[in-house]
Amino acid sequence: MKKLGLLLLFQLVALGIFAQDAGLSKTKFVIGASVPELLHAGVGFDLTTYNQLGFTVGVGPTMGGVWPALSAEHRLYFGNVQASTNRRKLFFRQGATYFTEGEEGAGVLSLGIDLKSKKANRGWTIDAGYFLLFPRTKDRYRDSFPALRFQYFSYFKKHQ
């Protein structure tokens, strides 16, 4: 749990360092499927054209059941700005997931891309990387696994 807290602290420091752009906030709703969470829904907040902060609630798979999961993430966008969205397309994601019923949390690092839909203010996100489980018990070792996520997003309001 201590390492999960350190990962969240790192996200906040990175957010402060890179949040120097004066862009306006924009909120989006997301639903998706991923590993380590199985199914999730949440919100994302565009802080700048380089940064996005997101929170999701979902369910994660376990041996013989599912655990509720809470996640937080920070995305650092890079690459060329797309004319149609006024946003950078590629991102590096740092995330943390807490399984509320279990004894584990997970830190996630991944690279991804936002793909715009034909409908205005909607699209798909795909990212891949790895996640590291942080057990709270001393008798378990840390497990590292591939992470993969697909999300559909819809913005609440247009860029200004």
Write the pLDDT tens digit of every residue in 32-63.
Answer: 999 877 799 999 998 888 899 999 999 876 77
3-state class of 131 per DSSP?
strand
For residues 12 and 86, which has the higher predicted lDDT (pLDDT)? 86
3-state class of 134 per DSSP?
strand
pLDDT band at 143 (very low <50, low <70, confident <90, very high): confident
Distance separating alpha carbons of residues 157 and 120, to the nearest angstrom: 10
Instruction: Sketch the domain layout of the chain as residue ranges.
Output: 2-155
Write the pLDDT tens digit of every residue in 78-135.
Answer: 998 877 667 788 999 999 988 887 767 889 999 999 988 777 788 999 999 998 887 7
H helical segments located in the chain = 2-18
How is domain 2-155 classified at the architecture level of CATH? Beta Barrel (2.40)
What percent of the chain shows pLDDT beyond 90? 38
Write the pLDDT tens digit of every residue in 17-29.
Answer: 444 444 445 899 9
Nearest to 54 by CA among 130, 110, 134: 110
pLDDT band at 158 (very low <50, low <70, confident <90, very high): low
Residues forming a β-bridge with 153: 30, 123
94 contacts 11 by C-beta, under 8 angstroms: yes
pTM for the structure as a whole: 0.76
Q: Residue 36: is the preceding peptide bond cis (ω within 30°)? A: yes
Taking every pair of C-alpha atoms in the chain, what is the biggest distance, in angstroms? 52
Distance separating alpha carbons of residues 2 and 64, to the nearest angstrom: 27
